[in-house]
Amino acid sequence: MTPTRTRSRRTFLASLAVNVLLPLGLYYVVRAQGWAQWQALLASSALPAAHALLSAVRRRRAEVFDLFVVGLLVVSAAASLVSGDPRVLLIKDAVLPAALAIWLLGSLRFGSRPFTFHFGEQLRDASARQEAERLWDSSAEFRRALRGLTALWACGQFLDASLTLVEALTLPVDAAPLVGRLQSFALLGLVAFLTVRRSHAFRTRHGTALFGIRARPVPPVARAEPAGLS
């Protein structure tokens, strides 16, 4: 595994732990200690928000999505306190994938490159990035495939948001966090599976990878034998 892929995997696993696994575990731990539902939801939601703030401080700049996460937590916490309904905090979990889906679609309409192109950049070395840029400029099939995958990811996030909203309004409050996380994992796994299948099909059909492109090795040049030595 290349250093670039190793760093990408570590970043993904750290994000998964901070934004999904630890908040879910914290919710049920503090509920077992007798915390109210809205208090447990607020405490579990505070972990991703604190991580976003610390990341912004470490980078010395704030990403728009980080600010959105923190702002959404503040608004939903205030609304939950005023209404006394913990379901307001559950609805927040539906807003995040909906916003992500809108951002993904926005990268198709307003970005110079779609989301999946930038995602692939995390898997490429320097020479592969140049190859990907060349393919983006010269291959309509390459552009169409990456745009289609971006739309697929957006549809997955919209579906996640819709199901999460229904669960937030109908399921028992204590069951909703676990059901929502399992659902999100299942949808993410399905989208990842379809992405891999489409990527393999594209490579088989066109001889070019959509992700993790590396420069093709140059075959060695055979040296000609001097005349008269045979």
Q: pTM for the full model?
A: 0.80
For the stretch 72-96, pLDDT in tens is 777 777 777 777 788 988 998 898 8
At 4 the three-state DSSP class reads helix
For the stretch 13-25, pLDDT in tens is 666 677 778 888 9
Give the pLDDT confidence score for residue 202 in this predicted structure.
92
Higher pLDDT pick, 47 / 113: 113
Whose tokens are 């309904």? That residue is 85
For the stretch 211-224, pLDDT in tens is 865 544 444 444 44
* Mean pLDDT of all residues in 25-54: 88
CA atoms of 201 and 220, how far apart (whole Å): 29
The 10 Å Cβ neighbour count of residue 32 is 9
Higher pLDDT pick, 12 / 171: 171
CA atoms of 191 and 105, how far apart (whole Å): 16
Q: Do the beta carbons of residue 42 and residue 80 sit within 8 Å?
A: yes
Nearest to 190 by CA among 224, 146, 160, 226: 160
Give the pLDDT confidence score for residue 9 in this predicted structure.
62
% the chain with pLDDT above 70: 81
For the stretch 156-211, pLDDT in tens is 999 999 999 999 999 999 999 999 999 999 999 999 999 999 999 999 998 888 88
What does the block give as tokens for 205? 């059909």
